[in-house]
Structure 1
């Protein structure tokens, strides 16, 4: 058998992932914040992309602007346009505070105190001080030698976000080569700082330190924390009172003192930023009809640069390489704009389909959520199921019933006794309502909830009720019981 090279023509069908399709899929799965960053990054990389600048001709008359135009227009001071010539009447209308610089130390008319509402230099610090900075500031006011200061810094560096000490006395001794008494003494010094309970090794010690700070070492609350903290979680005050020879009322009053303490002292000084959810789409109800509106606030409107397009047409000023580069960037820019439009249109189509399938939910609330799978929406709007999955991930809608992730509206089905289907999310909502309405002295067990749902026509096993309760982050019955 001879080996040889041949040229052969072959016709085949193959699914090729083009660059434009990859880009469209990538934009589909971005949330709103990531999309905003992607738009700005693309504008920075592609010279053919620019943001549409809306120029208002009637800014001098704000009353003539619509609400959308007022938000879209830049808030530029217009006082200078009112000044003409040397008329002192016109000069008085200028708001000179817009031109002052409170941070310019080289220029000042007088040594006057800044106004009370003036911004401070500390308002522009990039990172807010946290627990570690607060403790270091307190230590700076205590006279410590070099060795003790080194021990204190080691202890501060071993605190977690809750303010708990994660190392041990042996770790301190190994680090500094000190005795156990010196390590315990320095740990006790750090524990004496604010907030009360800081540098505790566990929750029990944190609560005990806070009670010691209040001078309650001899009180019942201190004894309950030290010896019966685990039993307090069951709220069975009568059983605890029988063990320690106190009345249930006294135990309940001591428990109220314990619950007023801060279990995690470091949380108050956390400098972590809170990321708020911004809805991608709004659903309004006006005159009995639902209206879908995409949230485009903060998203730059893109267009192809007209200046570069004119430059491409000018053959005299452009080299072949430069023209080829700009032509290629123009094609990329147009594909990017099309991908953004495809993303927004797809979100709108999915929301319109969800409104059709879950109309009762938007009208009446979570208890009327119907079973729905991704394939139902995919067939309704003519997209692939994986595309619908990407669209609904990390996307949120603001509805008359509240703020929900688009994934929330897809729920598995549970059959009822009459042969109908009900969504599992609707069952979870019903379990939540039953527990909210239960008696604190006699809370509902999982088996009792299962029996109540069965009477309502929903057959759910006790294990399923327990699973849904755990997903709702609701404690078991023994931890919800509150004895008199």
Structure 2
């Protein structure tokens, strides 16, 4: 076989992901809070960026010109070094807000108040250190006894003290013990209640009250009252002191308001500074022969980065506006009349209308919120699948169907709750044909119990 070497020329098209393009994509995907943090960081690191002032006085221009010679001398005499000016921080009352104690700190505080014996304190601290965020003890007591060379009974006594602490139910080793500790605190730990918690929690969850009553030889009305009580208890008491439960403030990225019968869309960019290029640094860069090649390249890179950042932020604003405007135009009935009038919508529909790629719409709506006359919603709330109606009209959104299912169940006779099959038949009367399985799926997504679990018994 003869081997030959040939040279061929061929043209190819491929997308080159430049640093500028990466920056534009990243900024488009940022929420308002994330973008604000990014801008603040860039203001600190890039000397070519500055906050745009609404009014620039002659005195400001004079200050810039006066500083030009100083900057030229600065770069000639030194290597690149950017010293951020220190600004005196204004008093922030937000900084004075006390931090919520963690679960460990809350339990440790109670431990120090109640237990005085040094040996018990050490064991108590070790037990508290092995309580997870849900409030459950995650270590075996035998292991604790061995570690401290003390009888198991001694460890159990210390744990018993810890289990009296707030939040009620803390220090339990399983769900049943957690619920019993709370029932004991409220004075409701009767023999019947204890039996239901210890042996029939699964039946309680599934609403099998008749089975519980039969096995415990008691009335179904008593069982129903106890089950109602159990459902008021906290299965994860430790989360009361979790940082995840702290209040999170959401700043809308887009605001929609109705004005004279028309919906106005405004991109909320008031929470981060407007940027402009620093005139002093621009003038410095224009001076010929003022810098070494390395210094000039550094400055030009910073200049280019500043220009692209400003351009990317403006591009983000325009894309957000176009996406929000499209959604508002499609969901006008929802904005005026409520959830039952929301329409099916997907990313591709919006992308086709505003003539961008579907991934652009996805990035523009990720982790972003829109304030509307109906409330504050995440952008993705407006995207949902649809079901074709029997009436031949436009498809019905899955969110509208869920709303109808919830309305039907809210108005049912609790002593004779409707089955998923019956709910499906009621929806069919409204022109919506979905299977029993789909009804069950939507009901579960709404957090609504099954027919059996919803049933109430009247004495």
Shorter-chain TM range is 0.7 to 0.9
Deviation at 1:252, TM superposition (A): 4.3
Q: 2:166 is paired with a residue of what secondary structure?
A: coil
Q: 1:351 to 1:195 in 2, by over 3 A?
A: closer
Shift of 1:339: 0.6
Of 329, 332, 356, which residue of structure 2 is paired with 1:356? 329
Counterparts of 1:154 and 1:230, CA distance in 2? 32
Which of 311, 316, 321 aligns to 1:338? It is 311
Query: CA 1:454/1:441 → structure 2, altered by over 3 Å: closer, same or farther?
Result: same
- The alpha carbon displacement at 1:48 in A equals 0.5
CA gap 1:188/1:10 in 2 versus in 1, 3 angstroms: same
CA distance in 2, matches of 1:416, 1:222: 50
The 5-angstrom pairing of residues 212-251 of structure 1 reads: 212-218=184-190, 220-235=192-207, 240-241=212-213, 243-251=215-223
Alignment partners' CA distance in 1, 2:179 and 2:14 = 67
Sort the Cα spacing of 1:172 and 1:326 in 2 relative to 1 into closer, same or farther, 3 A.
same
Structure 1 unmatched runs, 5+:
58-101, 103-118
- 1:3-33 deviation per Cα after TM superposition (whole angstroms, max 9, x unaligned): 8898x87654433222222211111112222
Write out aligned runs for 1:416-455 (5 A): 416-420=389-393, 421-455=395-429
Question: Structure 2 vs 1, CA of residues 435 and 56 (structure 1 numbering), >3 Å: closer, same or farther?
Answer: farther
1:326, distance to aligned residue in structure 2 (A): 2.1
| 1:347/1:189 CA distance change after superposition, 3 Å | same
Contact residue 350 and residue 388 of structure 1 kept, 8 A: yes
- Corresponding residue to 2:258 among 285, 292, 310: 285
Q: Which one has the bigger helix percentage? A: 2
Query: For the residues of structure 1 that align with 2:444 and 2:230, how far apart are their CA atoms?
Result: 26
8 Å CA contact 1:369–1:425 kept in 2: the answer is yes
Q: CA deviation at 1:342?
A: 0.5
Question: Residues 471 and 396 of structure 1: is their aligned pair in 2 closer, same or farther, counting only changes over 3 Å?
Answer: same
Distance 1:431 1:257 in 2: 27
1:388 to 355, 361, 380: 361
1:303 maps onto 2:276 in alignment: yes
Q: Compare 261-270 and 328-337 and name the one that shifted more.
A: 261-270
Higher mean alpha-carbon deviation, 317-326 vs 296-305, is at 317-326
Question: Which has the larger displacement, 11-20 or 334-343?
Answer: 11-20
CA distance in structure 2 between the aligned counterparts of 1:137 and 1:409, rounded to whole angstroms: 47
Cα drift, residue 217 of structure 1: 4.2
Q: Distance in 2 between matches of 1:294 and 1:393?
A: 15
Cα deviation per residue 1:262-298 (whole Å; 9 max; x = unaligned)? 4433233334433333211011111111000111132
TM-score w.r.t. the length of structure 1 is 0.78
* Larger relative contact order (CA 8 Å, sep ≥ 6): 2
Query: SS where residue 403 of structure 1 aligns?
Result: strand
In structure 2, list runs of 5 or more residues that go unmatched. 58-90
Matched with 1:168 is: 140
Tell me the equivalent position of 1:373: 346
Structure 1 residues 12, 369: CA separation in 2 closer, same or farther (over 3 Å shift)? same
After TM superposition, give the deviation of residue 462 of structure 1 in Å.
Answer: 1.0
Q: 2:163 aligns with which of 171, 184, 191?
A: 191
Query: Contact 1:235–1:482 (CA<8 Å) still a contact in 2?
Result: no
Q: Partners of 1:463 and 1:221 in 2: how far apart?
A: 35
- For the structure 1 residues 10 and 188, does the alpha-carbon distance in structure 2 shift closer, same or farther, using more than 3 Å as the test? same
Contact between 2:100 and 2:241, CA under 8 Å: does it hold in 1? no
